[in-house]
Amino acid sequence: MKIAVYPGSFDPITNGHLDIIKRGAKAFDKVIVAVMVNIDKKGLFHYEERVDLIKKLIKGLENVTVESHSGLLIDLMRDKNATIILKGLRSVADFEYEMQMALINKKLDPKIDTVFMMTNTEYSYISSSAVKQIAKFGGSIEGLVPEEIIPDVISKIKSQ
């Protein structure tokens, strides 16, 4: 069984993230979306809220699960018997950073491989940071994040 882990902050999850999840679900037997906890960052959404938002969006994807993890990704991989890290790439800049991370993870556990999936061009310009900034200044985030969570993002921005 090929188990892939798709790690990220997903703060908030974008249409690009969701596209990678759906395509990963077709490519692998099981995909675990890992909402990684970064203690050095204060996110818009608490990590458990991010898990709940993603769960809302993956209904119907029977081979996809979501959970949060604080600690090394490699530890989660070992715990879940996963051998593949799934990463979405938007640009060459993403590749440079993700290549370094893939090499570090390979050093930590040689049995782990990283698979890069190119983003759909329709989503190549979307980032969670851009979504937050647009929403904070009252711009429309329609088409950037799944419609089901637009009210959640707007409400969270307004409550800050």
Catalytic residues: 17, 41, 90, 128
86 marked as part of a ligand binding site = no
56 marked as part of a ligand binding site = no
- CA pair distance 22, 106, nearest whole angstrom: 25
9 marked as part of a ligand binding site = yes
17 marked as part of a ligand binding site = yes
46 marked as part of a ligand binding site = no
Whether residue 73 contacts residue 67, with contact meaning beta carbons closer than 8 Å, is answered with no
90 marked as part of a ligand binding site = yes
- CA pair distance 12, 131, nearest whole angstrom: 8
- CA pair distance 96, 8, nearest whole angstrom: 16
Which of 73, 69, 94 lies closest to 83 in space, CA to CA? 73
Residue numbering of the annotated binding site: 9-10, 17, 41, 73, 87-90, 98, 123-129
Residue numbering of the annotated binding site for ATP: 9-10, 17, 88-90, 98, 123-129
Residue numbering of the annotated binding site for substrate: 9, 41, 73, 87
